[in-house]
Amino acid sequence: MVAHARFTQPEEACGLVAGPEDGPIRMAYCLSNRDRSPYRFTVDPTEHYRAMQHAERNGWALLGVFHSHPSSAPLPSAVDVATALDPHWVYLIVGLGEGERAEVRAFDIRGGVVVERPIVGTG
């Protein structure tokens, strides 16, 4: 996700994440941003469908979406909150901000309420 975010700068990167229904995330699909914008993203629908097919072939489900904030912190914007349509998904944001260190944060967004989720490594 971080490499994809850096590659697509100054535009927002986006993609989907998948894994077993009860977690953890096993795959990040780096997809095209149809908006080609530094401030918003739309996942390409054909690529979304292909990612879903790949996940299902592996016995996984789509668990969430990620995108980047090319020049700011990884906190959900008003647009991010308004466009978070699936209350069961995790919303991951890669903040590139200032400097070379990227920061990734995860959120549940339900009915306009944002709750940060811990990111737990797998080793």
The band of 26, judged by pLDDT with boundaries at 50, 70 and 90, is very high
d(CA 28, CA 119): 14
d(CA 48, CA 31): 8
Structure confidence by residue, pLDDT tens digits, 68-111 = 999 999 999 999 999 998 999 999 999 997 767 899 999 999 99
* Cα–Cα separations (whole angstroms), residue 97 to 50, 55, 94, 111: 31, 31, 9, 27
| Residue bearing the bigger pLDDT, 27 or 23 | 27
pLDDT, average across residues 32-53: 96
pLDDT score at 123: 47
pLDDT score at 85: 86
Structure confidence by residue, pLDDT tens digits, 32-42 = 999 999 999 99
Burial grade of 40 (CB within 10 A; 0-12, 13-18, 19 or more) = middle
- Range 2-117 classified under CATH 3.30.1330.60: no
Q: Mind giving me the DSSP string for 31-54?
A: E-BTT--SS---B-HHHHHHHHHH
* Cα–Cα separations (whole angstroms), residue 63 to 9, 39, 47, 96: 25, 23, 16, 23
Q: CB neighbours of 101 closer than 8 A, spacing ≥ 6?
A: none
Q: Which residue, chain included where needed, has tokens 């990111």? A: 119
* pLDDT higher than 70, residue 118: yes
pLDDT score at 100: 74
* pLDDT higher than 90, residue 57: yes
Q: Where are the domains of the chain?
A: 2-117
pLDDT score at 99: 67
